A and B are shown apart, each in its own frame.
Chain A
Amino acid sequence: MQNYATQIKAFIIENFLFNAEGSSLGDDESFLENGIIDSTGILEVVAWIEETFGIRVPDSDLLPENFDTVQRLTTYLQRNADKHGVPAG
Chain B
Amino acid sequence: MLIQDFLLGSCRKNPDAEALVSGTFRATYADVTDAALSLAASLVAEGLQPGDRVAVLTDVPFDYIVSYFGTLLAGGVFVGLNTQTSSRTLKQLLSDCGASIVVTHRKFLKYFESMADGVPSLICVVIAGGGTVVGVSNRIFAGLIAKRNDNIALLPTREPANLAQIIYTSGTTGTPKGVMLSHTNLVVNTHSTLQYLGLTGSDRVMVVLPFFYSYGNSVLLTHIAVGGALIVNQSMMYPTVILDQMQTERVTGFSGVPSTFALLLKRTAIRDSPLPQLRYVTQAGGWMSPSLTRELIAALPEVAIHVMYGQTEAAPRLSSLDPADLQRKAGSIGKAIPGVTLKVLTPTGAAVKPGETGELAAKGENVMIGYWGQPQATAEVLRDGWLWTGDLVTADEEGYLYIAGRQSDMIKSGAHRIAPKEIEDVLLEHDAVFEVAVIGVDDEILGESLQACVVLKEAGSCQAEELLRHCQQILPHYKVPHSIMFFDELPKTESGKIRKTELMAGILSLQEDP
What interface size band does chain A fall in? 20 to 34
B238 touches A64 (CB 8 A): yes
Of A3-11, A36-44, A48-56, A79-87, which stretch is located at the interface? A36-44
Please give, as numbers and ranges, the residues of chain A lying within 8 Å of B469 by CB-CB distance: 18-20
Please give, as numbers and ranges, the residues of chain A lying within 8 Å of B338 by CB-CB distance: none
B76-119 contacts to A, CB under 8 A, are 83-84, 107
Whether, in the assembled complex, B508 has its beta carbon less than 8 Å from a beta carbon of chain A, the answer is no
B236 touches A59 (CB 8 A): no
Chain A contact residues: helix, strand, loop or mixed: loop
Count of residues in B whose CB is under 8 Å from the partner chain = 27
B84 touches A40 (CB 8 A): no
Please give, as numbers and ranges, the residues of chain A lying within 8 Å of B414 by CB-CB distance: 39-40
Total contacts A-B at CB 8 Å: 62
User: With A and B bound together, what is the CA distance between A25 and B468 in angstroms?
Assistant: 18
B465 touches A62 (CB 8 A): no
User: With A and B bound together, what is the CA distance between A60 and B241 in angstroms?
Assistant: 9
A19 touches B259 (CB 8 A): no
Please give, as numbers and ranges, the residues of chain B lying within 8 Å of A34 by CB-CB distance: 107
Please give, as numbers and ranges, the residues of chain B lying within 8 Å of A67 by CB-CB distance: 238
B445 touches A43 (CB 8 A): yes
Whether, in the assembled complex, A32 has its beta carbon less than 8 Å from a beta carbon of chain B, the answer is yes
Please give, as numbers and ranges, the residues of chain A lying within 8 Å of B468 by CB-CB distance: 18
Of B9-17, B359-367, B471-479, which stretch is located at the interface? B471-479
A18 touches B241 (CB 8 A): no
A39 touches B259 (CB 8 A): yes
Whether, in the assembled complex, B267 has its beta carbon less than 8 Å from a beta carbon of chain A, the answer is yes
Please give, as numbers and ranges, the residues of chain B lying within 8 Å of A38 by CB-CB distance: 235, 237, 477-478
B235 touches A62 (CB 8 A): no
Quote the shortest CB–CB distance from A19 to chain B (angstroms): 6
B238 touches A63 (CB 8 A): yes
Quote the shortest CB–CB distance from A66 to chain B (angstroms): 9
Whether, in the assembled complex, A28 has its beta carbon less than 8 Å from a beta carbon of chain B, the answer is no
10 closest cross-chain pairs (CB), A and B: A18-B469, A39-B236, A39-B237, A18-B468, A20-B469, A59-B267, A42-B237, A32-B237, A18-B472, A64-B238
Q: Apart from A17-B472, A18-B472, what are 14 other A-B pairs with CB-CB below 8 Å?
A: A19-B465, A20-B469, A32-B235, A35-B477, A40-B414, A40-B443, A40-B449, A42-B237, A59-B268, A60-B240, A63-B240, A63-B241, A64-B241, A67-B238
Q: Which A residues are closer than 8 A to B by beta carbons?
A: 14, 17-20, 31-35, 37-43, 59-60, 62-64, 67-68
23 A-B pairs within 8 Å (CB atoms) are namely A18-B468, A18-B472, A19-B465, A19-B469, A20-B473, A32-B237, A32-B238, A34-B107, A38-B235, A38-B477, A38-B478, A39-B239, A39-B259, A39-B445, A40-B259, A40-B443, A41-B237, A42-B238, A59-B269, A62-B238, A63-B238, A63-B241, A68-B238
